[in-house]
Amino acid sequence: EAQVTQNPRYLITVTGKKLTVTCSQNMNHEYMSWYRQDPGLGLRQIYYSMNVEVTDKGDVPEGYKVSRKEKRNFPLILESPSPNQTSLYFCASTRGSGSSYEQYFGPGTRLTVT
Amino acid sequence: SQKIEQNSEALNIQEGKTATLTCNYTNYSPAYLQWYRQDPGRGPVFLLLIRENEKEKRKERLKVTFDTTLKQSLFHITASQPADSATYLCAPSRGFSGTYKYIFGTGTRLKVLA
C-alpha cells in the first residue's frame, strides 16, 4: 500500500530537549516536505527536499533542521524545542515533474512542548 | 507577499444541495491549483488539480473552476452528502518550475446537514 508514515504520532516533551520526527514514504517520490498546522494559520511549509541531499527552506524554517540521506526518509529535527513549536506536523511526498504534483500526506504528529 | 484566502467561516448546507467554496489569491501567479480534503486530526487528501490553461475540471460530483483574471478558484460539490463534511484546502502552486514551494489556504469547513 502506497503510504507516508510518521513517528511518533504523539509526543510531549520539555523545552530544550532535542527530538526527531521520522518520515518515510514507499512510493519512490523525489519530493518530500514538512508542514506544521496551527489553528487559524493553516498548513505552513517548514522545509522541503527535491531529492537526496537537496533541501530548502519553506516559509517557517526557524528552529527546525532536516536531512535527506535516502530517498525514502526525510526526518525533521528540533534541536532545542520551544513551546511555540507546539503544533500538528505533517510530512508529505510527491512524485515530481511530469506528475499531477499531488501530495500524499502522512497521518500527522501532534507535538506538545512544555 | 503571497496570500491565499478561503472563507474562514464554516459553510453549512442541506444534504442534496450544491456546496460552493472559494479560494482567492493575491501577489501570485500559480501555474495550477490543487484542492485537498482534510478530516479532523488527519492529513489532507488530494482531490483535484486544475491548470492555468483550464477553465474547469470535473471528477464525479466535484467541479473546480480557475479564473486567472479574477485570481480565484471555485470548488463545487453537487448533490452533497453528510460524508462530504470536512475542511477543504486550496493550494496554488508554480509547480516544479520555480519556487517548488507549496502554499495552502487556511481552509473552509463544510458541514452537510442531513
So what's the pLDDT on residue A97?
63
Q: Are B107 and B10 in contact (CB under 8 A)?
A: no
Q: Give residue-wise pLDDT tens across range B7-55.
A: 878 999 999 999 999 999 988 888 889 999 999 989 999 999 998 889 8
- Distance (Å, whole) CA B72 – CA B21: 11
Q: Is A84 helix (H, G, I), strand (E, B) or coil?
A: helix
- Distance (Å, whole) CA A37 – CA A44: 6
Q: With an 8 Å Cβ cutoff, are A97 and B96 in contact?
A: yes
Of B43, B49, B96, which is closest to A102 when you measure between CB atoms?
A: B49
How far does the CA of residue A41 sit from the closest CA of chain B (Å)? 6
Q: With an 8 Å Cβ cutoff, are A101 and B32 in contact?
A: yes
Mean residue pLDDT of chain B comes to 91
Q: Are B45 and B38 in contact (CB under 8 A)?
A: yes
Q: With an 8 Å Cβ cutoff, are B46 and A102 in contact?
A: yes
- Closest by CA to B50, choosing from B39, B38, B62, is B62
The share of chain B scoring above pLDDT 90, in percent, equals 69
Nearest CA in chain A to B7: A40
Q: With an 8 Å Cβ cutoff, are A96 and B96 in contact?
A: yes
* B36: chain A residues, CB-CB within 8 Å: 103
- Distance (Å, whole) CA B89 – CA B104: 7
Q: With an 8 Å Cβ cutoff, are A101 and B93 in contact?
A: yes
Q: With an 8 Å Cβ cutoff, are B100 and A50 in contact?
A: yes
Mean pLDDT, residues A12-40 taken together: 95
How far does the CA of residue B72 sit from the closest CA of chain A (Å)? 19
What is the rounded (10 degree) CA torsion for B92, B95, B100, B101?
10
- Distance (Å, whole) CA B35 – CA B50: 9
Q: Is B84 helix (H, G, I), strand (E, B) or coil?
A: helix
- Which residue type occupies B33? L
Is residue B99 predicted with pLDDT exceeding 60?
no
* A48: chain B residues, CB-CB within 8 Å: 100-102
Mean residue pLDDT of chain A comes to 93
Mean pLDDT, residues A76-95 taken together: 96
CA angle A103, A111, A91 (to 5 degrees): 15
